[in-house]
Homo-oligomer: A and B are copies of this chain.
Amino acid sequence: MIDEISLNILNILQEKARIPNVEVARQVGMAPSAVLERIRKLEKQGIIDGYEVRLNPEQFNRRLIAFIFVDVDTTLVSASDPDQDRVHDILAKMPEIQEVHDVAGEDCLLLKVRVADHQELGTLLRDNIRPLQGVRSTRTLTVLFTHKETTRFPISGILTGQ
């Protein structure tokens, strides 16, 4: 279980992760050493997975988001050399591909990619995705406008595995 204080600390860090420990302590009204101990514990328990810098995709010429459904022939893949990487592993290694999911009911993978423009998307599909062994077909949805995009989710005290 996780208590109100730790929840509070996590909420503060979700707003702005790169702030001094004392500042967190002030906001929760505790001694810095106590807060530090709690944060260390949350990290060790795997509740806190890490700290990331959020970069502006626009500024790095990554304006286009696309979702790609990849129809994979799994029988073909399992029949080949078992030592070789599976399609999803190869895809996961490509830096433009941010997400690789197995989805239910469609017998395929769903990718989220972030590229500069439609030309780069075309290149990625033609040169890196379609030629993969086991890939039967792809279907691509490009994003026109993004209204919301966050990794945050509501946090509450109901913790599992505690």
Contacts and interface: CB of A to CB of B under 8 A. Distances in A.
A158 interface: yes
A9 to B, nearest CB: 10
Chain A interface main SS type = mixed
B159 A61 contact: yes
A98 B153 contact: yes
Contacts of A49: 54-56
Q: Which 8 A-B pairs have the closest CB atoms?
A: A18-B51, A92-B148, A17-B51, A13-B53, A100-B147, A100-B148, A49-B54, A102-B144
Contacts of A57: 153
Interface residues of A, number: 65
A10 interface: yes
Given A158-B61, A159-B59, A104 B147 contact: no
Copies of this protein in the assembly total: 2
30 contacts: A10-B55, A14-B55, A16-B51, A17-B18, A17-B51, A45-B59, A46-B59, A48-B53, A49-B54, A50-B53, A50-B54, A51-B53, A52-B52, A52-B152, A57-B153, A59-B161, A60-B160, A61-B158, A61-B159, A88-B148, A98-B150, A99-B148, A99-B149, A99-B150, A101-B147, A101-B149, A102-B144, A104-B142, A106-B141, A109-B147
A143 interface: yes
Contacts of A156: 60
Contacts of A155: 55, 60
Interface string A31-47: 00000000000000111
